[in-house]
Amino acid sequence: MLRVGIIGATGYAGAELVRILAGHPHVELTTLTSRQYVSERFDAIYPALRGVVDMVCEAYNPDVICDKADFFFTALPHKLPMAYVPELLARDKRVVDLSADFRIKDAAVYEAHYQPHTAKDLLAQAVYGLTEIYREQIKAAVLIGNPGCYPTSVLLPLAPLLRADLIDGEHLVADSKSGVSGAGRAPSLGTHYCEVNESYRAYKVATHRHNPEMEQILTEQAQKPVPLVFVPHLVPMSRGMLSTIYAVVRPGVSAADIRACLHDFYKDAPCVRICPDGGVPDTRNVRGTNFCDIGWHLDEKRNRLILMAAIDNLVKGAAGQAVQNMNIMAGFDEIAGLDHVPYPV
Amino acid sequence: MLRVGIIGATGYAGAELVRILAGHPHVELTTLTSRQYVSERFDAIYPALRGVVDMVCEAYNPDVICDKADFFFTALPHKLPMAYVPELLARDKRVVDLSADFRIKDAAVYEAHYQPHTAKDLLAQAVYGLTEIYREQIKAAVLIGNPGCYPTSVLLPLAPLLRADLIDGEHLVADSKSGVSGAGRAPSLGTHYCEVNESYRAYKVATHRHNPEMEQILTEQAQKPVPLVFVPHLVPMSRGMLSTIYAVVRPGVSAADIRACLHDFYKDAPCVRICPDGGVPDTRNVRGTNFCDIGWHLDEKRNRLILMAAIDNLVKGAAGQAVQNMNIMAGFDEIAGLDHVPYPV
Amino acid sequence: MLRVGIIGATGYAGAELVRILAGHPHVELTTLTSRQYVSERFDAIYPALRGVVDMVCEAYNPDVICDKADFFFTALPHKLPMAYVPELLARDKRVVDLSADFRIKDAAVYEAHYQPHTAKDLLAQAVYGLTEIYREQIKAAVLIGNPGCYPTSVLLPLAPLLRADLIDGEHLVADSKSGVSGAGRAPSLGTHYCEVNESYRAYKVATHRHNPEMEQILTEQAQKPVPLVFVPHLVPMSRGMLSTIYAVVRPGVSAADIRACLHDFYKDAPCVRICPDGGVPDTRNVRGTNFCDIGWHLDEKRNRLILMAAIDNLVKGAAGQAVQNMNIMAGFDEIAGLDHVPYPV
Amino acid sequence: MLRVGIIGATGYAGAELVRILAGHPHVELTTLTSRQYVSERFDAIYPALRGVVDMVCEAYNPDVICDKADFFFTALPHKLPMAYVPELLARDKRVVDLSADFRIKDAAVYEAHYQPHTAKDLLAQAVYGLTEIYREQIKAAVLIGNPGCYPTSVLLPLAPLLRADLIDGEHLVADSKSGVSGAGRAPSLGTHYCEVNESYRAYKVATHRHNPEMEQILTEQAQKPVPLVFVPHLVPMSRGMLSTIYAVVRPGVSAADIRACLHDFYKDAPCVRICPDGGVPDTRNVRGTNFCDIGWHLDEKRNRLILMAAIDNLVKGAAGQAVQNMNIMAGFDEIAGLDHVPYPV
């Protein structure tokens, strides 16, 4: 059994890690840290898990927790992992970081959108944990920068088509929608029930921090600069994310080409499901699971490919993909602990 | 007092007409027809209106109802109005039709997306009831083809910019989202609570019937063919619609140009509110009202204008705009009966 | 026009007062105070009201605001009104207080459930503003203790039956359910979207502060001590409250007796609607309105009367009833400004 | 591996059985029947299960399906199981029936609330499948009448206290609330999204068919007639049920007595969790799980015990309890296949 610790276990992504790892066949959860709930039982904070997890939260102390665990997830607001991760790596631990701190290769880009980076030397060795695209690098990684939820939903459908040069890198638009849990557990006016219910709105229009993260990977996949117009929206639901993506297709590209490209690229990917022709992904169908469901429609009259990708923002968009990456790093079955059967309703 | 009848009063759009007209200062509701609820009290079907409306539904009989009313709203599924409207006009009544039957000027386009048209001779005289754009023609109209909800939310932000040639007619994308009431009151699996709740999905991807309706008007406004890529989505909420629209701006166009164009065009329009810079429209803010809130953001780095428009699909997207058109046709204050103060929460 | 000020205008109840009074035919809103948003436009806080209300929030200063207004609503957390109301009354203003500070006649009871009372001398003259029950006293009042939302929904159905001695004062149970707006606008974990959505739970079980408020009035109406078992619950919706009340009927009391009692008592009350036999009240039917819908069922086999009352917690449960009381105090039509036509859906 | 068939697999309870059994370690799903979807893939009806279940629905034919499976669940509307179950038992199969057909011992009571019973001879041998109460009888059963969702949530908290005579059998009130999935998958106006959202109402007030089912078991547990006043309500959420139950306590009974009774009774029950003192059950905490969470509060001032029980209506209230019963009948671990880790949010 791999001894695993979760640093920042009481936020939504951390708690989702607890949920998944509590049922993982090859993992023993040995330490949960929390800043807010030191010495409190985890199941007092999340009563859903009473009778399932009986651990007590502890403060972050690298010496103590590194005695207990060999693999760590850091589920913290960005900036904190920059301080913690070097301490963990120095003790020969492997880490999947769910924040933005190790996702962006160019420190200047990171610093333009976040804050000064204090662990730049780790950026080169960090692997971007978009599993289906970087599986080979992940196998050998000691540090994963786990992707953001929006990037996961936008990059998985686009990467194969850009690689195959079936779509133009110009005029890419991603109109994305997220459930409220993506905003985390800390109360705010923006996540107050009455302010979200019966409401639909965009936010951070073309200014969201996931935009450069996506452009970095798109550019890498296309091997030339790919600008992405990106607008996130908030949907009155707890979990789920859908990105609707608009791309101009290369001349002569047919629906059959699109279909073949997507099916071929993901034929061995257990967490990606390509919808049948005419089918559309629905956030409800991936709720609680590590699936990314991808649908597509070619608007031939207007020469535009419409891609749609649905994920659970807390699973494939955060904790699930993090565990998928751990599985690969540890040599486990890629979906160990992730074979949750989704609710039919 | 204008004597008004509603043909098809018990669907959601019809009932919303009843709601608005019950509080209209210059209107007397004199007849409500229903196919399903003949001889039943309206407030037995909609108990919310007990003590407010005490009318009984009757069957559609043109001779009977034309004795009672001088102005009619037809809130029926398309195809029925083609049969009824000629009978009403023949009796010198004026009509606002909320279906698609009289929106599309080219009968061939209509027939390609709906069914054979049996009242083609009326298409030329029907006025497209997008109030802020066709106000002058509406004044003299006897028959209004009231716009669909999606077209209203897409056309109001785009029309001024296309007219002013600030945006390119190419590469237009409208990613629209609707609350569930847009699907009407008839039960179906797609509107079953458990199938919508915690769900987000697209539908009729690039194949929705409102697409040609929008392209007709965009083309007319731009005076050249304007293709529109259009994807509607279903949001787990009852009322509200938001369209996010992506347009390429003409070289040299600045944020100041966009701002000035929108503010100037709508400076005398009581039902359109342009958001302050940086503000985003929210469906919650227009709930129950005839407002269309428009926000915009210029992504200068990627040369893309993002427009967002929020309406209540049942009000500005249906019944409210219909009443606004009636007000103009009858010489009333444009917002008579539409000065509903929105809920703060 | 009555010059009216709202002290605490930016909470949910205060904003609802703004909404209602903005459309009141005999009222001019002249001052809005806020602790949090001094010098900010009200419509920047509540964009729904852009174009409807163009006032700026000011700090509470009795000298300044008493120059501007003759009638005040205090929509503040309890404890603050105890300090403010004496200053307003001393300047010959009339006040409707929406907090608990002036609802409970016995200062000792108040202090046992809230905190020390610093304006006890006003308790005797304060009138409990349950309009339909205390209409006569309200006419002459200068200070109203406006009822809580739960008490309004529980007392309106029970008062007539207790007065008429049709039900036993023993074994009364009120199982009440509230939408989330009842918890106010301040963000908290308990009102975080993800913690409320798809959730149903009781809270403050048999320990809610509205319990003594209700027992005070029930006891007064029955003219003997009436204990009430009371459990509030939180419902995943923004607005609305339903109380289901269980009472043992007196021997020999029939359904006809119940029906006659309720219809007779409320025959001239414009804001109370008794459901037809077999009908049940639904929070949706009173949304945004000042109606209290009352339904009832006599379980003859088990000798129990079941009463159900639905209100909008922010309207008849707070701001609407406050305006209803103002109307009566000022000699206006009782429902002036309150004739909002409810949404059919 | 036990070969299992589900008769009526495409309703919500049937699909939930598929979800649970697809992950059951000792079960092989061998046949799914459907009346509506014969020859269709199950995952075309429930796309959430794509990649998880690849079976095709077939028509009910006892000869065919009895060749395939040795244990059956019937998840059908009542009346149909009366016809099917005798055919299955005649072929030496064991059956858990999720309808009401085999729950009520007294055929006259059944017929008064449902319809004529055509398999009365099986009533005596059918065991009421409230697992924690009838575990011993279930072990030897060949036919289980699986409890309704409301009865499960009401009986589990009451049974121990009635057996121990800590509460009075008089004045019992159960105020229950259900998510919408309890109404099934067939579309109707009552389950239309817009009719449920932002709505809260009672239904079948004191006339629900689960009432006699509950009184039968309460009477059996108390060994004297126990009337139960019962009012179900509909909550705007998909899954979840909470019953709030009011009971008069016997003289001298203390909080410690209640606590000890509940903890002792359920100390070996893996699916029942007694909340810590002051804790309240929340439907969210049991979502997707077979847990029944029970909370309680003694209102000493008013001599009333308040019990609250939360279940997932589709799991412990239907499919999960059915599988729990199968596990016991088959000699498996009681919670095999039911160790689903609940979502923290």
CB contact under 8 A, C192 and A197: no
* pLDDT at residue A134 in the model: 98
Place of tokens 């932002």: D198
A98 Cβ contact list (under 8 Å, min separation 6)? A13, A73, A74, A75, A76, A146, A318, A319, A322
d(CA B289, CA B341): 7
Q: Which residue of B has its CA nearest to D193?
A: B193
CB contact under 8 A, C288 and B291: no
**B326, B195 Cβ separation under 8 angstroms:** no
3-class DSSP assignment, residue D257: helix
Answer whether D299 touches C (CB < 8 Å): yes
d(CA D215, CA D227): 6
> For the residues A247-258, what does the mean pLDDT come to?
97
CB < 8 Å to B287, chain C: 48
d(CA C115, CA B176): 52
CB < 8 Å to B338, chain C: none
User: pLDDT averaged over chain B?
Assistant: 97
CB contact under 8 A, A246 and B173: yes
**What count of CB pairs under 8 Å joins A to C?**
51
Q: Minimal CA–CA distance to D242: which of D163, D304, D182?
A: D182
Which tokens go with A3?
């001894």
Answer whether D238 touches B (CB < 8 Å): yes
Neighbouring CB atoms inside 10 A of D213's CB total 24
Choose the closest CB to C198 out of A191, A192, A238: A238
* pLDDT at residue C322 in the model: 98
* pLDDT at residue A212 in the model: 96
Answer whether A12 touches C (CB < 8 Å): yes
Those chains having 3 or more beta-carbon pairs within 8 angstroms of chain C are: A, B, D
Answer whether D236 touches C (CB < 8 Å): yes
pLDDT tens by residue, D77-125: 999 999 999 999 999 999 999 999 999 999 999 999 999 999 999 999 9
d(CA A303, CA B133): 29
CB contact under 8 A, D237 and C198: yes
Residues in a beta bridge with B233 = B177, B202
Band (D224; pLDDT cuts 50, 70, 90): very high
Q: Which residue of B has its CA nearest to A206?
A: B299
pLDDT tens by residue, D185-220: 999 999 999 999 999 999 999 999 999 999 999 999
Q: What are phi and psi of A169, to 5 degrees?
A: -80, -5
CB contact under 8 A, B283 and A199: yes
CB contact under 8 A, D193 and B197: yes
* pLDDT at residue D118 in the model: 97
The full set of domains in chain B, from first to last, is 2-125 (3.40.50.720), 150-312 (3.30.360.10)
Angle value at C-alpha B75, between B69 and B79, nearest 5 degrees: 110
Rounded to a whole number of angstroms, the CA Rg of chain C reads 20
3-class DSSP assignment, residue B160: helix
Which tokens go with C13?
């109840």
d(CA A54, CA C267): 59
Band (A101; pLDDT cuts 50, 70, 90): very high
**B242, B294 Cβ separation under 8 angstroms:** no
Residues in a beta bridge with C232 = C176
User: pLDDT averaged over chain C?
Assistant: 97
* pLDDT at residue A40 in the model: 98
CB < 8 Å to A229, chain B: 246, 299, 302, 304, 306
Q: Minimal CA–CA distance to C95: which of C59, C125, C57, C55?
A: C125
* pLDDT at residue A69 in the model: 98
Q: Which residue of C has its CA nearest to B21?
A: C341
Choose the closest CB to B187 out of D181, D188, D198: D188
Q: In one letter, which amino acid is D49?
A: L
Q: Does ipTM surpass 0.95 in this model?
A: yes
Answer whether C52 touches B (CB < 8 Å): yes
Distance of CA B172 to the CA centre of its chain: 21
- The crossing angle, in degrees rounded to 10, of helices D320-330 and D131-139 is 30
Active site residues of D: 149
Place of tokens 């900010």: C40
Q: Following CA atoms B329, B335, B340, B344 in sequence, which dihedral angle do they give, to the nearest 10 degrees?
A: 130
Q: Minimal CA–CA distance to D17: which of D44, D55, D51, D65?
A: D55
DSSP D103-161: T-S-HHHHHHHS---S-GGGTTT-EE--HHHHHHHHHT-SEEEPPPHHHHHHHHHHHHH
Q: Which residues of chain C have pLDDT under 70?
A: none
CB < 8 Å to B233, chain A: 177, 242, 244
Band (A51; pLDDT cuts 50, 70, 90): very high
Which tokens go with A131?
């599993």
State the burial class of residue A277 (Cβ atoms within 10 Å of its Cβ: 0-12, 13-18, 19+). exposed
> For the residues A55-77, what does the mean pLDDT come to?
98
Q: What CA–CA distances, in Å, run from B289 to A331, B273, B335, B339, C22? A: 58, 12, 11, 8, 15
Residues B67-105 as b/e (b if ≥16 CB within 10 A, e otherwise) read: eebebbbbbbebebbbebbbbbbeeebbbbbbbbbbbbe
Q: Strand D143-145 to strand D94-97: parallel, antiparallel, or no bridges (unpaired)?
A: parallel
**What count of CB pairs under 8 Å joins B to C?**
97
CB contact under 8 A, B15 and C49: no
pLDDT tens by residue, C99-134: 999 999 999 999 999 999 999 999 999 999 999 999
Answer whether D316 touches A (CB < 8 Å): no
* pLDDT at residue D270 in the model: 98
**D130, D217 Cβ separation under 8 angstroms:** yes
Q: Which of B66, B149, B261, B292 is catalytic?
A: B149
CB < 8 Å to C12, chain A: 194
B103 Cβ contact list (under 8 Å, min separation 6)? B126, B128, B145, B146, B147, B148, B213
DSSP B57-99: -B---HHHHHHH-SEEEE---TTHHHHHHHHHHHTT-EEEE-S
* pLDDT at residue D324 in the model: 98
Band (B235; pLDDT cuts 50, 70, 90): very high
d(CA B319, CA D247): 51
3-class DSSP assignment, residue D329: helix
* pLDDT at residue B247 in the model: 98
Stronger pLDDT, A170 or C253, i.e. the higher one: C253
* pLDDT at residue D285 in the model: 98
d(CA A257, CA A259): 5
Answer whether A345 touches C (CB < 8 Å): no
d(CA C243, CA C309): 5
Neighbouring CB atoms inside 10 A of A276's CB total 12
pLDDT tens by residue, C291-323: 999 999 999 999 999 999 999 999 999 999 999
Q: What are phi and psi of D202, to 5 degrees?
A: -85, 165
Q: What is the DSSP letter of A50?
A: T
Which tokens go with C345?
């859906």
Q: What CA–CA distances, in Å, run from D247 to B342, D155, D168, D222, D229? A: 44, 13, 7, 14, 11
d(CA A237, CA B198): 5
Those chains having 3 or more beta-carbon pairs within 8 angstroms of chain D are: A, B, C
* pLDDT at residue C201 in the model: 98
* pLDDT at residue D330 in the model: 98
Residues in A 173-212 with any Cβ partner in C closer than 8 A: 180-181, 185, 187-189, 191-194, 196-198
CB < 8 Å to C249, chain D: none
User: pLDDT averaged over chain A?
Assistant: 97
Distance of CA A75 to the CA centre of its chain: 12
Read off the pTM: 0.97
Query: What's the gap in Å between the CA of B104 and the closest CA on chain A?
Result: 19
- The crossing angle, in degrees rounded to 10, of helices B131-139 and B320-330 is 30
pLDDT tens by residue, B126-145: 999 999 999 999 999 999 99
B144 Cβ contact list (under 8 Å, min separation 6)? B95, B96, B97, B102, B126, B127, B128, B129, B138, B322, B325, B329
**D220, D266 Cβ separation under 8 angstroms:** no
N-to-C CA span, chain B: 34
pLDDT tens by residue, A120-151: 999 999 999 999 999 999 999 999 999 999 99
3-state secondary structure C120-141: HHHCCCCEECCHHHHHHHHHCC
* pLDDT at residue C235 in the model: 98
